[in-house]
Structure 1
Amino acid sequence: MTNASHRTTPPTTASPLAAPALPLTAGRWAFDPMHSAVGFTIRHLGISKVRGRFNDFRAELVVGDSLETSSVTATVALASVDTGNPDRDAHVRAADLLDVEKRPTMAFRSTRITGEGEDWTLSGELTIGDVTRPIDFAVEFGGVVEAMDGSRHAGFDATGEFRRGDFGLGFAPGILGDVVKVGLEMQFVEPR
């Protein structure tokens, strides 16, 4: 057994995007919507959680030569909200709640990517309607694998949260919680 303090090769400190632990080819990775999901939870009456998802969304991953030149963007169509209850979903879309006529999308644009190995932080700006606020996502990198057709896929899980009130969505206080927790599962396909 070798003592770790006597290593002949120091641990790598290179950019994780260039390191073997995260072998992402530079370029624009294609979004794979069939193997991706956007979900959320919010407290109801302070005693339980309502879970839902958005069925219409897209994302883009651009890998540069470094973390500083890499970026992530995403857009969610708020009218695609799905909590498993059509009547509730119609109410959520209405003017007194999300008001999807006025606020059709929720958009994210990254400003910084940090981390290493499997654990990353994706910092950026979240825009709902005409309000933009900072947000951080904790990201787990699932790795890169080759699919049956020979294409290479990268997988990521991301979690974050925001306050409804920060975006002018403070409707139904006491009934709905202010904190919305967001969970993303994303796959992207390596550029050819």
Structure 2
Amino acid sequence: MTNHWKIDPSHSEVEFKVKHLMITTITGHFGTYKLDVTTNDDDFTSATEIDFTINVNSINTKNQQRDEHLKSAEFFDIEHYPEITLRGGRLEKKNDLYILLGELTIKGISREITFEVEFGGQITDPYGQQKAGFTIIGAISRKEFGLIWNAITEAGQVVVGDLIRINCNIQLIKTEF
């Protein structure tokens, strides 16, 4: 039996963290995204299609000047690359966790990624909707995706770290196609 799932954006979040001046961590969020998942079972071990798209213009780091810089050609270049995508993803069960494998594309550069996924389970909400919950954790090198802007402080420290930690809390709703 084929099951179709879509993201519940009001109960999900897409967050990233990066070192700033190598002494603190800045947190950012993307507010607009869509996710479609097709499975052949109820525990998601046979996800046959995972299609995740993030609208880069929805970035929010709680600093408008920084957000505009991130949208510029020096970083995401949203004029030419308005979306981040994860395509062809699949889940593999490994002990109590799942592993998400897929092709992540940022700024026109695609790389295979592997993230850990905790499956929170499924439940029927008070409105009769079947829901499933996940926490996704991973990290990428921003430079591998063409996000290479940086500056050096007087003390020789870089302004922005290379490692981007990703943390997503995702709630899916079972839908009819």
TM-score range for the pair, normalised by the shorter chain length? 0.7 to 0.9
Partner of 2:142: 164
2:9 to 33, 40, 45: 33
Go from structure 1 to structure 2 and tell me whether the alpha carbon gap of 1:55 and 1:111 turns closer, same or farther (over 3 Å shift).
Answer: closer
Q: CA offsets, 1:16-61, max 9 Å, x none?
A: xxxxxxxxx7311132111111000001111111101001111111
Aligned to 2:64: 86
1:181 correspondence with 2:165? yes
TM-score with structure 2 setting the length: 0.87
Structure 2: give runs of 5+ residues left out of the alignment. 152-157
CA separation in 2, counterparts of 1:73 and 1:118?
24
Larger fraction in strand = 2
The alignment partner of 2:66 has SS state of helix
Unaligned runs of 5+ in 1: 1-24
CA-atom RMSD in angstroms:
1.9
Asked if 1:71 is matched to 2:49, the reply is: yes
Please state how far the C-alpha of 1:118 moved relative to its aligned partner. Answer: 4.3
| TM-score normalised over the length of structure 1 | 0.81
SS in 1 for 2:126: coil
2:102 matched residue in structure 1: 124
The within-5 A match list for 1:117-156 is 118-156=96-134
Q: Aligned partners of 1:68 and 1:139: how far apart in 2?
A: 14
Shift of 1:68: 5.0
Please tell me the residue identity of whatever aligns with 1:88: R
Query: CA separation in 2, counterparts of 1:96 and 1:190?
Result: 39
Identity value in percent = 31
Per-residue deviation at 1:102? 1.9
